[in-house]
Amino acid sequence: MTYIAEARPRRRVTAAMPRLNRLELRLSESRATRGRIDSHVRTLLSQRNEAMAAALADKVPLSAISTVVGIRAADVKRLGGAYQDLHFSGVRHDWHLTRLAAIVRQLDAALEDKEQSAQKLRCDVLEGLESGRMDIFRVAALTALPAERIRELMRPAAAH
């Protein structure tokens, strides 16, 4: 048997992938936005916990740390106690409290950004579902969220 190059079947021409409309694009971009915001919040939480531990190691009063951070003293002690490798550094107490206050402000801003992102996602999902162009599974695929999570997002919007 002899191989003849022209005897093989030709490749089928496939249709180009359909482009996403603006709403679908916003929904798919929300996945990266959520990831970025969540990563930033985790980083700030880690920095806050480490700063609390450093302040505790430098004998800053537990009540002062608790007041600046805005969480219970028992939680400050528990979170700060997770860092066993920190030793007394001799840094002034007000420096620790100022650093903690700055981290808490950044964390509050990041959490507000996260809430705004969730609200924007909620509005986009509602728009997509009410328009009838998308079902819940299409929205779930675009946002990389389970369909049940999409339903949970819609519950507060339906109550208003």
Helix (H, G, I), strand (E, B) or coil at 97: helix
Range of the domain at 66: 23-159
Q: What is the pTM of this model?
A: 0.76
**Which residues, 6+ apart, have CB-to-CB distance to 137 below 8 Å?**
147
Q: Confirm whether 16 is domain-assigned.
A: no
pLDDT tens figures, 29-84: 999 999 999 999 999 999 999 999 999 999 999 999 999 999 999 999 898 888 87
Number of domains into which the chain is organized: 1
Helix-strand-coil percent breakdown of the chain, rounded to 5?
70, 0, 30
- Strands (DSSP E) along 6-156, which ranges? none
* Burial of residue 55, with CB atoms counted within 10 A of its CB: 0-12 exposed, 13-18 middle, 19 or more buried: buried
Residue 11 forms part of a structural domain: no
7 assigned to some structural domain: no
